[in-house]
Every structure is written in structure tokens, then in C-alpha cells.
Structure 1
Amino acid sequence: MQKTAFAIFAAAAVAASSASAADLGRPAPAAVDYVKVCDAYGEGFFYIPGSQTCLKIGGFVRAEYRVWKMDTDFAGLYGLNNGIKSPTSNDATTRIRAQLTLDTRTNTEFGLLRSFTEAWYTVDSGRATPSVDLWKAYLQLGGLTAGRAQSFFDFYTGDHYASVFETAHSDSQVNLFAYTVSLGNGVSATLSLEDQTTGNASRRAETLQVYGGNKYPDLVGNLAIAQAWGSAQVMAVAHNNQPYDSNRDKWGWAAGAGVTVKLPMIAEGDSATLQAAYGKGAVSYVAPDSVWTYDFYKQPNGSLDQTVAWSVAGGFTHNWNAKWSTSATVSYLDVDGASLKVFALNKGADSKQVDAGVNLVYAPVAGLTIGAEVEYKYVNFKITDRIKSDGMVGLLRVQRNF
């Protein structure tokens, strides 16, 4: 019995020894490379394993419910008969949108290397399948910005949601190539070449075959300041007007200035903004959605008559307490339309436009907001006769940011 037990023990020992010897010839398991927090650029960043690049993933999920009230001819005049709203479509509509952002940053010998991507996925009433928009996609190194980004002309784009009716300002994502110089104390200057054919706010709205090919990119410049009291900017653009069937082009331009002042003496996070812009042959830099307005019209003798427009916009945000806030924006737009002599009308497509919006937003927990908003647009449009029309939309928005 003892001999049997000894034999079993010896056999087990030999087997264990053989196994250990075999293990010595195998590579050791790779060490687990845990994700590490990157606190160099603020909250939410982490190191991509195996690299010195920091990544932040963000975005939102939004549900929006709208009710409409407008004059009978407003939708046709304003161009809202695109499935979102028209006199014969629903008076109640919905929009569901998801946003995804990727922000990567790496320190290099040439400065901070950054890339940023923002995509929108949207389903609107009357559309069975989602639309996908590459809203932004750009890279930065030092003062260089290349890709699809916010136009460097833009400063104030409103305080309220402006989900349907945008107030009078420039607010466009465009393909661009820009360089920014920091002058110290929060002051910077930027020069940007921007592709006028790529903006989400139409730089070249087309129905009557007025515009020709894109001959030159827009040249945008700004001087900006951002400090503890708030921010301000002056901006200008040279915008080429190229007619459809002629090489007789002409340069248009626009200029603007805006200031935002923080108001912590009223409540933390409060602010007020005022902005004005003026343009000739560059209407979309003054307002994003003016009615049926072109930068220019070609006359029978081949010359170009350019549209002149100016706008002023202002708004504020007030935090009632930690959970409730209100934002409002109002703007006025005046358009002296280019002459339509080519159609023997001998008058311009003049218009005046008022936009306003106000909301009340509740934030019950961090990252979640529930907001109710009313948006209003009034248009006084003159071409063959004078049309006065207005529209109003009320909406409820529920949004989770992450």
C-alpha cells in the first residue's frame, strides 16, 4: 500500500516538473494596458492605450416635438414646403437627432495637434430614413485649422434654440483653410480661405440659375478678444459674385462686429450679446435665411447689380437658479434687393424681417435638459407686390448630453 502511494506521488511530481519545464519555454502573458485618465485638457479625456494621444467621446440624444401656426402663404413664400412643414402638411411635427463628437489631442514638438469630428443623425417628420451630416471635421496644429469648421466670420449665433427660425446672423459650417495668430491677453487674429459652396447656411441659394461656378474662395478675416469679462469680435469677408452665363464677375463684401458681456453680478452664467452686420453682394453673412434673396442679378447690359443688406441681433441668457434658465434672441433684417430689370420688373426684391425666440429650460439632473420654446418670424416682402406674412412654432425639447 505504501509502495503504491509512493509510486503515485512520484508520478505526480514528475508530471508537475515536466509541466513547469514546458511553461518556461512559453512567452509570459502580456501585461494589461489599462485606460488612463488624461487631465491635461479638461474632464472626459483619456489616453488611447499604447499612445500619447488623448481622446474625448461626447454628443447628445435629442427628441423634439413641434406645433405650427402660420399664414396660408407663409410656407410657400419662405420655402418651408420641403417635407418639414407646408400649408398642406401636418401642424404637429417631430425631430429626433443624435450627435457624436470625437476630440483627439497630442502634444508635439510643433505644438498641440488636434482633430475634431462631429456627426449628426436626424429623422424628421415626413422622412422615413435618417439623414447623416458631417457637421464638422477639422484638424489643428498650432495656429493652423484645416477641414470643415465654423466660419471664422461667425461670432454670435443666438442664445435660444433657433430650431426652426434662425435669427439674423451668420452661422455656417464650411470647408476652410485658416491660420490664427495669438497676440496675447486673449487677443487673436485669423485669416481664412473658405469654400462658399459648402456651407450649411446657403452662400449661394439657387432657383433661377443666377450663380455661375465658384471662381475664388471667400477671404475671411477677424480680430477677436476673449477675457474674463466676456468676448468681442470684428470681422470682414470678400465674397466673389460670379454670374451663371458670364465671366464678368464682381466682388461683394460684408463686415460685422459683436460683443458678449458676462453678467455674474446678476447670476452665475448670465450673459448678454449685441451684434450688427452690413453687406453688399454677400447676403448670407448678414442673415442665414433671408427670403428669396440673391447676392446679385445680372442686368441686360451684362453688369451686376448687388443686393445690400444689414442686420442687428441681440440676446441674453439668465439662470434663475441651478435648475432653471431662460434664453432669448431678437433680430431685425433689412434687405435692399438687387434690381430685377432682367425680368422687366424694374424693382428689387426688397424685404424686412423680424425674428424672435424665447425659451424656459429645466435641468433636473446633470446632463439632462427639458426646454419649451416659442419662435416667431415676420416677413414684409416686396417684389411684384407687397406680401406681409408671419409664422410661429412652439416646441418641446428633451436632450441628454454626454
Structure 2
Amino acid sequence: MKTIKALILGSAASLLAMGGAQAADLPVKVKAVEYVKVCSLYGAGFYYIPGTDTCLKIGGFIRIDTSFNSSGTYAVPFFQGAGLTNLRNKDYFQGRARANLNMDTRTATEYGVVRTFVNTQFQWSDASDGIAGGNNEVDFAFIQFAGFTIGKAVSQFETQWVLSRPTQSSGVTGGSDTTTGIPQLAYTASFGNGFSATISAETPRPYRVAGIYDGNDAIGVPGITAYANSNAGQQIPDFVGNLRLDQAWGSLHFAGAVHQVSASYNGLAGTATGENTGHPDDKFGYALIAGIEIKNLPTGVGDSIKADVTYANGASRYVFGGTSNTSGTGYGIFNGNGAAFGQYMDAVFASPGGAVPAADLQLSTDFGARIFFEHYWNPAWRTSLYGVYARHENTATGNAILLQRYNATFAGGITGDANFSIYQVGSRTSWTPVKNLTFSAEVQYAWMDTGLSGTITPTGFTNRTNPVVLGSQGTLVGSVQALRSF
């Protein structure tokens, strides 16, 4: 009995000792788990970054595009490039897959909200990339603080709705279109009731520089062969100012920009140029825009109409904007044995001592108008209609220089002037069967009026050997798109 009792007491003591040892190994206090919390201050999709007072939103999309008779993966007419000649070596359809990722952070401070935003694209196109190639781009990367915007963002010249126009195409003319951002330093003052004003200094290249042509240099067919650009380097930014009114019924927008037109050194074709040859005196061009948006029209809930008009002098890219045609190669449409083409530039001049009489910078004049209407048939279906007009005019001296150079290049026979106009009309229909998934199709007809007439043989271009008659031409393009946003 004593033996059994001793065993029981010994076992109990051992258990107590083991329990005490395990209790000593436990942490004194378990650290609380930091769960991600919803941030409702700035709209849906924001969360607090754990351990901070900064709200973060991550978004993006996957987009698949296929275009027909188009120079891009949207409904962009063959205004330039190999397909412009409209021969058998042209691709009649093109495809692209694009992945987008964007991040938006907001932090409340005593100076107001500090915001950072970055938008990046990763894409592959069958027209330009290898089998497993691709490329990436940074559309936007900016900081906003105490009214300042610093970095790559939409130009302050643009209307408020530049990123929400009801069209797939980024190849419409008739106005500015910095939809992939332009470096800037801007300050915005808000006065209440939706009224604000902004001043900005913006980098002109590549969006705003249309180029300068020296009449003693070579020139080719616009849209196929770029002229020898005599533009000087960037010296000062473009200065932009705007006034805006944003209210429930829509918005009003007025803006102006000042653009430096600066040529490099004088020099005849085939001769050296340098500081000893001199250069034309700099001039300043400008651009003006007025825009209006009206929401919730009587035609239906969600319907809207957007319109703007733009005028420019010595600042062609404010009218012939867009993410296409930034190389300054101009516009053209070839159909069989007919062709229309035109070269836009900020200015034309002629160096002294050449076949063309010397002339200082002759600033061009440009005018554009755009209108967009969108109608919602129901929450899932919507259709848009749009019309665009763009006009480029040279001075009388500028036209004389260009006409002489065209005749020298194409062995005479060209008459008229180098002014031209572009008209574009189009429609897009979209179907959103479920939230953030949209299928759409767009069709566009483009017409180009050229002031040039005559017959040329554009030798030296791939497979193009027959003469073409200069005159107005048109083309039809289309595209389809699948878009999944998140």
C-alpha cells in the first residue's frame, strides 16, 4: 500500500513539473494580427496598407484587340507606314494582347491628400513583336500634393473627359490627345462649386513637337518617308493654363498653351551645318481649346454628349494629336491609282543660298473640331457616334516652298497647295454582360482632302511602281475588342 501511494504521489509531482515547464515556455502575450481594413475615404477598392494610414487601390485590365485595314490595333486608318500604299504586302488585320496594372495611393495630411499614381502596360502585338516578345510602357507616374501635380500625367490642356471618350481609337485627329501622359509640373487652385484653374509647364516632346521643314532639304511622300526634321532641341517647356467647371449636369473647359518654335542651324542639303551657318529666329506658337460635356441627356439615363474645338498657330500637334503619328511623317491615303497626302509641321523655312528663296519661320495654322455622343439602350448595351474634322494650312510662302520641293522630288506636274483636311466619322457598340467585362466593335470611315493635284510615281517604295493621281481619298477601318477590368 505504501508502495502504491508513493507511485501515485511521484506521478502527480512529475505531471506538475512538466506542466510548469511548458507554461514557462509560453509567450507572455500573443501579438494581435493586423488585418487589412477597408478605406472608405476615397471610393470603392481602397484598403489601408497594414501599419500605416495610407490607402491603396490596385487595379488593371486584360484587353484583346483585333483591327481590320488599320495601321494600329484600334480603328486607326492607314495614314502612314507600309500599309499606306495599299498593296499586297499590307497586313489587312492585326492583333494585340495588353495587360494593364495601376496603383493609386492616398494619404490624408495637414496639407490635404497626398496622392501617388502609376499606370503601366505590358503588351504583345503580332505586327511588331516576336513570337514570345512584347514590350512595356509607363503611361502615368505622378505625385499630387497641396494642389501640385508632378510627373507624367494627362496634359492640363485636355478636357476632363479625354480618358473616357466613347471610342476605342486613339487615332482620331481634330484635337489634343495625351492619353499616355506628358511630363509636367502643374498647380491647380479650386474655388468651390466645381470651379478650378490650373497652370502647368509641360515637356513638349514627343506629344507637342510636329517638326520644322527646311525647304532646301529632301522631302518624300508624307506618311511614307519622313522629311529631314530641322527642329532644335527642347529649350523651354510648353506653358499651359486652363479654367474648368465640373458639376452634376456636365462640365466646361477652356485652355491655352504657348509653344516655342525653334529651328536648328541653316544648311543646304548635302552640306555641313553648324553654329557658323546661323539659324532662323525663334518664334512662339500657341493653341486654344474650348470643350463642353453634357450628361444624362433626355435620350436616356447615362447618355452624354462631348464636344471640343481647337485652334493652333505654330503648334500643329495640339490639333493633330494622338498616340499615333508622333514621328512627323504626315498623313496619306492610297487607293489603287489614286492618292491623297499632306504634311503637317509647326513651321516651314528656307536656308539662304539655296534653290528655294530664303525665308524665316512660316508658322502653320491648324483647326480641329470633335463631337462624341453615347446612348445607353439598357445597362448592358450602349452605342456611340462621333465625328472629327482637322485642317492644316501653310502660309503662302510655306506653300510655295513645299510645292517647289514636291515638284523637284517627283519631276514636276504637281499644282495647288500643300494644305489638307481630314474627316472621320465612326461608331462603337459595346456589350457588358457582367460587371467589368465588355465586348465592343467599332467602325470608322476617314476621308482626306488634299490641296495637291497632279500625277506622281513614288519610286523607291516597296512594290509601288505605277503612277498615282493626287486627289481626295477615303478608307474604311474597323476593330473588335474584349476587355476584362479588375
| TM-score of the pair, normalised by structure 2 | 0.75
| 1:217-366 aligned within 5 A | 217-245=237-265, 246=279, 248-288=281-321, 289=325, 291=331, 292-300=343-351, 301=358, 303-337=360-394, 339=398, 344-345=404-405, 349-366=418-435
Question: Residue in 2 aligned with 1:141?
Answer: 145
Change (3 A) 1:348 1:365: same
Q: Would you say the 8 A contact 1:120–1:132 is kept in 2?
A: yes
Which structure is higher in RCO with an 8 Å CA cutoff and minimum separation 6? 2
Aligned length: 394
Question: Residue in 1 aligned with 2:440?
Answer: 371
Tell me by how many angstroms 1:395 deviates.
1.4
Indicate whether 1:160 and 2:153 are aligned. Answer: no
Tell me by how many angstroms 1:203 deviates.
4.8
Tell me by how many angstroms 1:121 deviates.
1.4
- Structure with higher Rg: it is 2
| Structural RMSD (CA) | 2.6
Question: Residue in 2 aligned with 1:105?
Answer: 106
Question: Residue in 2 aligned with 1:195?
Answer: 203
Query: d(CA) in 2 for partners of 1:96 and 1:295?
Result: 35
Change (3 A) 1:254 1:164: closer
Q: Would you say the 8 A contact 1:197–1:203 is kept in 2?
A: no
Question: Residue in 2 aligned with 1:398?
Answer: 482
Structure 2: give runs of 5+ residues left out of the alignment: 213-225, 266-278, 332-342, 352-357, 407-415, 455-469
Task: Please state which structure has a larger fraction of its residues in strand.
Answer: 1
Tell me by how many angstroms 1:76 deviates.
11
| 1:26-175 aligned within 5 A | 26=27, 28-68=29-69, 78-81=79-82, 88-126=89-127, 127-128=129-130, 129-155=133-159, 157=162, 159-163=165-169, 165-172=171-178, 173-175=181-183
Query: d(CA) in 1 for partners of 2:193 and 2:348?
Result: 45
Tell me by how many angstroms 1:152 deviates.
0.7
Change (3 A) 1:76 1:11: closer
**Residue type of the alignment partner of 1:59:** G
**Which range moves more in the overlay, 291-300 or 45-54?**
291-300
Question: Residue in 2 aligned with 1:186?
Answer: 194
Query: d(CA) in 1 for partners of 2:439 and 2:201?
Result: 39
CA shift digits 1:60-110 (9 cap, x unpaired)? 11111222279xxxx998223389x98513212111111111111011111
Give the SS at the match of 1:106.
strand
Change (3 A) 1:329 1:76: closer
Tell me by how many angstroms 1:304 deviates.
0.1
Query: d(CA) in 2 for partners of 1:113 and 1:53?
Result: 9
Question: Residue in 2 aligned with 1:210?
Answer: 230
Question: Residue in 1 aligned with 2:336?
Answer: none
Instruction: Report percent identity of matched pairs.
Output: 29
**Residue type of the alignment partner of 1:141:** F
Query: d(CA) in 2 for partners of 1:390 and 1:131?
Result: 32
| TM-score of the pair, normalised by structure 1 | 0.90
Q: Would you say the 8 A contact 2:174–2:310 is kept in 1?
A: no
